[in-house]
Amino acid sequence: MLETHFNFSTMKTKKLELPPVEEITALLVDLQKTIEDDYRYRASEEDERPSVSVTIGADEKGQWNYQTGDNSFTGGAYGLPFWGVVSLYRDSNCAELAKDSLDQIADAQIDNI
C-alpha cells in the first residue's frame, strides 16, 4: 500500500492570469480580414481553404504577444512560456478560437505549477 502525506501548510499557491479574451478575439478578427487566397495553413493535406496558423504566447501575469505562420524561433510569441495555437479561417468563429487558445494557455500554466 502506498501512503502519501501532504503538509498543506507549506504548499505554495500561485495566481495565474490569462490575457483578456476580448483582446484575443479582436486580434483574430483583425487577422481574419488579412487572409489572402493563397494563404494555407494545412491542418491536413486535404484542407485547401485559405487559412493561417496563429500562436498566442503568454506568461503567468497575462502579458501576451502573437505570431502567425511558422516563425519558428523568431515570432512575437516565442519568448513567452505558454502557448495556444489555432488555425484561423475566413469563416472561423473568432470568439471560440480565442477561448480555445486561452484554454491551451491555461492548461500549460497549470501543468507548470
In this structure, which long-range contacts are made by residues 39-47, counting pairs with CB atoms below 8 Å and at least 24 apart in sequence?
41/69, 41/87, 41/88, 43/87
Q: Is residue 22 part of a domain?
A: yes
Cβ atoms within 10 Å, residue 101: 28
* 6-64 per-position pLDDT tens digit: 444 555 556 789 999 999 999 999 999 999 998 887 667 788 899 999 999 999 999 99
More confident residue, 14 or 85: 85
Q: Is residue 2 part of a domain?
A: no
Mean pLDDT over residues 66-88, rounded?
88
pLDDT, position 69: 85
SS3 104: helix
Q: Is residue 89 part of a domain?
A: yes
Task: Supply the pTM of this predicted model.
Answer: 0.82
Of 44, 45, 41, give the one whose Cα is nearest residue 55: 41
User: Domain total for the chain?
Assistant: 1
71: confidence class by pLDDT, cuts 50, 70, 90:
low
Domain with 41, as residue range(s), is: 16-111
SS3 27: helix
